[in-house]
Structure 1
Amino acid sequence: MSIHFDEKSRVFHLQTPGSSYCIQIVRDGYLGHLYWGRRIASYRDSVPFDFIDRGFSPNPDPADRKFSLDNLPQEYPGYGNGDFGIPAYQVAQSTGSEICDFRYQTHRIFAGKPKLPGLPATYIEGEQEADTLELVLEDALTGLRATLIYTVFNKYDAMARSVRFDHTGSDNLTLLRAFSASIDFRDDEYDMLTFYGAHTNERNIARRPLMPGIQSAESRRGASSPQQNPFLALLRPGADEDNGEVYALSLVYSGNFIAQAEVQQYGTTRVSIGINPFGFSWKLTPGESFQTPETIMVYSAQGLGGMSRIFNSLYRTRLSRGKFRDAERPILINNWEATYFDFNADKIEAIAREGKELGMELFVLDDGWFGKRDNDLSSLGDWTVDHRKLPEGLDNLARRITGMGMQFGLWFEPEMVSPDSELYRRHPDWCLHVADRPRTVGRNQLVLDLSRQDVCDYIVGALSDILSSAPITYVKWDMNRHLTEIGSALLPPERQRETGHRYILGLYSVLDQLTSAFPDVLFESCSSGGGRYDPGMLYYMPQTWASDNTDAISRLKIQYGNSMVYPTVSMGAHVSGVPNHQVNRITPLDTRGHVAMSGNFGYELDLTTMSPEEKLTVKSQVALYKDIRPLIQFGEFYRISSPFEGNDAAWSFVSDDKSEAILAFFRVLSQPGEGVPILKCKGLNPDYLYRHHETGKVYGGDELMFAGLTLPRINGDFISLFWRFSKTGAQ
């Protein structure tokens, strides 16, 4: 058992293979946070709570001026009875009061991990994989209970946290804030790392020292968004890719979130993460419950690289599900940048046939196959085949392509509706809207109200009909705008602020039904690329289109940033044409291939217009990727050189048994008067000998990691190098 409770000290000690997390029941049932960090054998009270009489820190016991919630490092803090920091929860009562005082009541420790109803979460395949602690707190006046749920994984240096609220009282209550996790650190000597960006510029890395006050990353867009990502890490100063302590939190949720750190008056730090309280509330009538999303917490003493490999492995094997979790993903050709909306069946078949001859395995028909969709002005919601473009129907086209020996995939944008559509004309109330207010459009579309069961039923039915009508084995699920006028025609006034979260719950329900009904279909998440690249979506769809920006040089940063949390196999990456359609850059085909091969590989261009020489290059790229695909998609990923910090980028993939490795290097711009660069490998076994595939030369693993490789002299911009190594023996 990895969770222990000491009755005498009233300390809970949770242990992963490399970390410890300690909680203590203090005085009259308050929960104090003692420690989170490198694993210790047992907690023997070396860092007890130090209570000091401080001015302006109120005391629940008038006879004891030293004890104050304002100074106690807490496990799940509230507001209004002495703690002035960011509260983890906030509850409104019918009296108008928002005071709630949770105290410890009981606890339960058991093997296994409970499921979270209606929400995505990490899972286990046997009770022996994890242990769970449930700490039950109660507010005596209202009868509201909060069960803090902690699951410790026995194989991974990770913990899962969430909270369930159960209303056992007699009066209606309203949750105004319900975070998934809160942690009080004893000091403020940290840097904070988050991600930021925009459409086509996702997953930039922001690292800055903590300052007094609140600093946060959040989304108010209705989705996790390309602007921010539901993730926050605290790093000790000096912590880098390979060394130093990292404390990271990742929220398994796809809607509005907040992740924040507050440096308080006496140099302590409170970190919290969960559903964004902006625009949120949830009414709880007697007998009702509310479950928060799950937060995954990772501690690493091996820097950001160690953190990433924990997240990558956990999310690949215990968040992603279904037959495709452990299956090699097909190399695809997508027609979007080749044709956009302007295509017919013969053109599509011609691109697919070229793809087949070059070794590709899946053709994906993107936007424009339904309704009267000649541009983005109409037809979303009308999921019927456009017989002007496909006169013999979708099934005929799919069978023409599968008859070549290729798989067939299809693009959808199910959460949206065009004002110019039959669906909107029949059901104008089915979109998110607020009475008497204009309806804001984005990309000429509105957002369907997935808080409504009838809307969810329509989406499930319409997509099921299409997926059953043809041999479709892949779906690209897009979402090309964020939520405005977040209101629902079916919810009463007091529940309107529930709409945003109910939308996400409706989405999860739709995805659960469709992925269960079509287990042989590979679903890929997309939101104009990486606008909803989050753990919640990975639970239903094991891969995500990382960005609509297909430029190889832009992708160096996008894919590097994504790798901090998300596994390579989840990261869609395509070779596109030049000049690039997003930034107009011209890059060598080799470089485009090497960048895309560093993810889930595919192409997005018109293969029929390529020269014979280009086709030979593509054919060799496809053959190479098929050979190294298991290593790229399921190996360990090591970042070596950051494109955010210089003119180069480098990374490697290493098999679990250390017998195979891929090393990739990218030079952005040629520089005059350069020295002789050396690149040091990571993740190899120092006792192995490795053969370089291209030259046949043999090197020691220790030599490759500690001495490194001298890079060849390379001239020109946007150049890449790719090495393969295989174990050939022991030193």
Structure 2
Amino acid sequence: MKCKFSISFVLNFFLLTALLPKYVFAQGEIISIETKNHALVLNVTGKKDLNTIYLGKKLANKEEYAAISSAYKQTEDYTEILNSAYTPSGSRNLVEPAITATHADGNNSLDLRYIKHEIKTLKPGVSLTKIYLKDPVYPFEVSLFYKTYFNEDVVEQWTEISHKEKGLVTLHKYASANLHIKRNDFWLRQFYGDWAKEMQAEESKITHGIKTLDSKLGTRANLFQPPVFMVSFNKPATETEGEVLFGSLQWSGNFRTDLELDHQDNLRIISGINNFASPYALKANEVFTTPVFMYTFSAEGKGLASRNLHNWAREYKLLDGNGERLTLLNNWEATYFDFDEKILKDLLKSTKKLGVDLFLLDDGWFANKYPRNGDVAGLGDWQENKKKLPNGISSLVTEATANGVKFGIWIEPEMVNPKSELYEKNPDWVIKQPQREEHYFRNQLVLDLSNPKVQDFVFGVVDGLFTKNPELAYIKWDCNAVIYNAHSAYLKNQSHLYIEYVRGLYKVLEKIRTKYPKVPIMLCSGGGGRVDYAALQYFTEFWPSDNTDPLERIFIQWENSYFYPAISSANHVTDWGKQPIKFRTDVAMMGKLGFDIVIDHLKENDLKFAQQSVKNYDAVKHIIWKGDQYRLSHPKKDDVAAMLFVSKDKASALLCNYLVNNRYGAGSKFPVKLEGLDPNKKYKLTETNLYPETKSATDESKVYSGDFLMKVGFNPQVNKDRASVILKIEAQ
């Protein structure tokens, strides 16, 4: 039997075939959130669920995003929201939620359905996508925000939660972001630490269940666990290869990131404020705005992801990220608490002698009834100590000006010693349980920044210093205590304390920056106990660690360098460690250089070296602060740690090399392959920061192509006699 087809049938058949992929693949509206190289793709289902269908390299054809889901043949999703873009609890969900709430009528269920979305351009290269979700039963709404930085490949996410119910709604969990990623395997690189042991790294394969990274310290939240992390897809990423996501919450208090590998072998990343002891009672029409979760994705290894973040931070997040910085001399390790006006004036002369920009007076300059002669008393009483400084801070500022340098000062305005006038007069300003024995961290308690009066007091500490001393040029802001016995005499709802403390801190910092927008301020917290991009919006730099042993600092600064640009890292030359001053100085040059030594105690050649190193640093600091950073040889894997900074125009670079292994014969046996240069340019290498009366082992007459230096490399000849080598690389 022969089949006969009409011409119209054949035409209709081919037309249907041409359109078939769209019918097969279409699942609803597609929302693609894209940067230059990356895409996060969301899908609105027929039931108006908002789900994630893709996170990875951007596709050339946006229409093909709709085909992604059908390419996966995984086990059943019984809930239809396993890949939810913001997972609610109490309805269909069976995994870790992003949001949990109890409605005003006591019901614990929540369902969020898509209403609409809008996209707008904020400025060239920066866009904002807002997606509206609503519970179909309750007047409960959630808005998801995705702010994209196109050229930097960075995405910021946060959430707004509100309702119009008759009574309070209790938020039990309120994440900022909820990512869903499909790959074969996942590897987590996380960080841990303690005082003087910040940013210790460990990497492991993510297995089924939930891995939680969190802090419950209230303040100084990064002490044991920083909020930054990396996740590699399929295999551990290297500096130059592999898919990797860098993530972090921008919040200076308790944080929580859950990484859940579900029964489909997909990874869910949920990050936000830690809901520990913090159920939030939300009033009708009040908007609860979560902090920002930030991430960048790279398909070309950790190095590119790191440079993405550096570019983004300098341009959009770090205060004055493309500006200048001051080199300084600090008195802390020279004097500790034991100083007077004469000693400080001598140190001011040393500041000029060394050639740095500023003298920083550290802890111990204040309090009279309970003098600050140690860390047991005086904190909170911010008047000059009359015995140490009979003529006040102003005389030191005047002396600094006369010596041609600037003057800066240390404060710790969030904390108080029980042995202080502030504590005696305002015990209700202190976070403590009224019925329980006080427990101290470094002999301190934390002031209650949820209280507006305390906020005014802390602002007044800074404002008072600048009002009395208009030429004051720098602040070191410290934060040494964590919150014990959490209780506020001001707040009616104690479960809000951890959140309101941080909100209060930001109100103070915002007020300071409104009045003093450009004064450099160092973010310090007994070392690196409070480093995050929410805080760094108000600070020009941070103190990575009180551990200034240069060998230890190589590792700490190395790990920090993945997430924070060199211009933000305050690195000081001190007497910690047994290494010579050249090694200590060369290590400190990997960021913002400073000194914390007694200049007059230096040997003649050490002084000459220190003075010359400041001049050498001034000649190359623009490359370190504003160039592209490449980690070439890892201190945990190789005898030599090698870090490269390349100017944006590829005309100059700085290669920093450090011996990290003291075993016999350790050194640079192989050439170090450079990155980021122009393969077609010719480059000359010269050694800088040489110690007096020593000669370089580098043949400075040779010229190399960028192609050669990146494919073959250059041997800096590092060994026990040349433990640190700094090389300038200049295009000819």
Report Cα offsets for 1:131-169 as digits up to 9, x if no partner: 211111111333111000011222211111100012222
- CA distance in structure 2 between the aligned counterparts of 1:164 and 1:49, rounded to whole angstroms: 32
Aligned position for 1:690? 683
Report Cα offsets for 1:611-657 as digits up to 9, x if no partner: 22111010111011111111111111111111233432111100001
Aligned position for 1:57? none
1:31 is matched with which residue: 50, 53, 78? 50
- CA distance in structure 1 between the aligned counterparts of 2:96 and 2:480, rounded to whole angstroms: 33
Aligned position for 1:10? 29
2:212 is matched with which residue: 213, 216, 222? 216
TM-score (norm 1): 0.91
Secondary structure of 1:385's aligned partner:
coil
Aligned position for 2:496? 498
Q: Give yes or no for contact 2:413–2:461 (8 Å, CA) kept in 1.
A: no
Report Cα offsets for 1:184-233 as digits up to 9, x if no partner: 12245110112111111111222111111111211111133131111222
Secondary structure of 1:91's aligned partner:
strand
Relative to structure 2, which stretch is displaced further, 558-567 or 677-686? 677-686
Does residue 611 (structure 1) correspond to residue 603 (structure 2)? The answer is: yes
Secondary structure of 1:481's aligned partner:
coil
Aligned position for 1:720? 724
Aligned position for 2:150? 154
Aligned position for 1:671? 663
Aligned position for 2:587? 595
Report Cα offsets for 1:558-591 as digits up to 9, x if no partner: 00010010010100000001xx2xxxx3011111
Aligned position for 2:20? none
Q: Give yes or no for contact 1:328–1:629 (8 Å, CA) kept in 2.
A: no
Aligned position for 1:360? 356
Q: Give yes or no for contact 1:350–1:608 (8 Å, CA) kept in 2.
A: no
Q: CA offset at residue 348 of structure 1?
A: 1.1
- CA distance in structure 2 between the aligned counterparts of 1:50 and 1:442, rounded to whole angstroms: 55
Q: CA offset at residue 672 of structure 1?
A: 2.9
The change in CA–CA distance for 1:502 and 1:476 in structure 2 (over 3 A counts) is same
Amino acid at match of 2:264: Y
Relative to structure 2, which stretch is displaced further, 699-708 or 94-103? 94-103
Q: CA offset at residue 105 of structure 1?
A: 1.3
Aligned position for 1:48? 69
Aligned position for 1:637? 629
Aligned position for 1:76? 86
Aligned position for 1:227? 224
Aligned position for 1:480? 480
Does residue 704 (structure 1) correspond to residue 691 (structure 2)? The answer is: no
Aligned position for 1:117? none
Secondary structure of 2:440's aligned partner:
coil
Aligned position for 1:255? 253
Write the mapping of 1:70-469 to structure 2, written as runs, cut at 5 A. 72-112=82-122, 127-187=123-183, 189-223=185-219, 224-236=221-233, 237-321=235-319, 324-371=320-367, 372-469=371-468
The change in CA–CA distance for 1:108 and 1:363 in structure 2 (over 3 A counts) is same
Q: CA offset at residue 128 of structure 1?
A: 2.3
Secondary structure of 2:198's aligned partner:
strand
Task: List alignment gaps of at least 5 residues for structure 2.
Answer: 1-24, 688-699
Report Cα offsets for 1:106-125 as digits up to 9, x if no partner: 2111121xxxxxxxxxxxxx
Secondary structure of 2:193's aligned partner:
strand
- CA distance in structure 2 between the aligned counterparts of 1:131 and 1:711, rounded to whole angstroms: 44
Report Cα offsets for 1:657-688 as digits up to 9, x if no partner: 11110001111233335583321112111111
Does residue 659 (structure 1) correspond to residue 660 (structure 2)? The answer is: no
Q: Give yes or no for contact 1:193–1:232 (8 Å, CA) kept in 2.
A: yes
TM-score (norm 2): 0.91
Amino acid at match of 2:38: S
Q: CA offset at residue 524 of structure 1?
A: 0.8
1:518 is matched with which residue: 516, 519, 525? 516
Q: Give yes or no for contact 1:691–1:725 (8 Å, CA) kept in 2.
A: yes
Report Cα offsets for 1:467-498 as digits up to 9, x if no partner: 21112110000001111112211222xx2111
Amino acid at match of 1:463: V
Q: CA offset at residue 594 of structure 1?
A: 0.7
- CA distance in structure 2 between the aligned counterparts of 1:439 and 1:94, rounded to whole angstroms: 37
Q: CA offset at residue 442 of structure 1?
A: 1.1
Q: CA offset at residue 446 of structure 1?
A: 0.6
Amino acid at match of 1:665: N
Amino acid at match of 1:670: N
Report Cα offsets for 1:331-385 as digits up to 9, x if no partner: 1000000000000111111112112122111000000000010001111111100
Write the mapping of 1:537-552 to structure 2, written as runs, cut at 5 A. 537-552=535-550
- CA distance in structure 1 between the aligned counterparts of 2:578 and 2:525, rounded to whole angstroms: 26
Q: CA offset at residue 713 of structure 1?
A: 5.9
Q: Give yes or no for contact 1:546–1:559 (8 Å, CA) kept in 2.
A: yes
Amino acid at match of 1:720: S
Q: Which has the larger radius of gyration?
A: 2
Amino acid at match of 2:730: S
Aligned position for 2:532? 534
- CA distance in structure 2 between the aligned counterparts of 1:188 and 1:196, rounded to whole angstroms: 27
Q: Give yes or no for contact 2:51–2:81 (8 Å, CA) kept in 1.
A: no
The change in CA–CA distance for 1:52 and 1:683 in structure 2 (over 3 A counts) is closer
RMSD of aligned Cα (Å): 1.9
Secondary structure of 1:509's aligned partner:
helix
Q: CA offset at residue 52 of structure 1?
A: 9.0
Task: List alignment gaps of at least 5 residues for structure 1.
Answer: 1-5, 55-65, 113-126
The change in CA–CA distance for 1:361 and 1:90 in structure 2 (over 3 A counts) is same
- CA distance in structure 1 between the aligned counterparts of 2:337 and 2:488, rounded to whole angstroms: 32
Aligned position for 1:124? none
Secondary structure of 2:393's aligned partner:
helix
The change in CA–CA distance for 1:647 and 1:713 in structure 2 (over 3 A counts) is closer
Q: CA offset at residue 698 of structure 1?
A: 1.1
The change in CA–CA distance for 1:29 and 1:401 in structure 2 (over 3 A counts) is same
Q: Give yes or no for contact 1:70–1:85 (8 Å, CA) kept in 2.
A: no
- CA distance in structure 2 between the aligned counterparts of 1:445 and 1:49, rounded to whole angstroms: 58
- CA distance in structure 2 between the aligned counterparts of 1:632 and 1:336, rounded to whole angstroms: 26
Amino acid at match of 2:116: T
- CA distance in structure 2 between the aligned counterparts of 1:548 and 1:187, rounded to whole angstroms: 40
Amino acid at match of 1:279: A
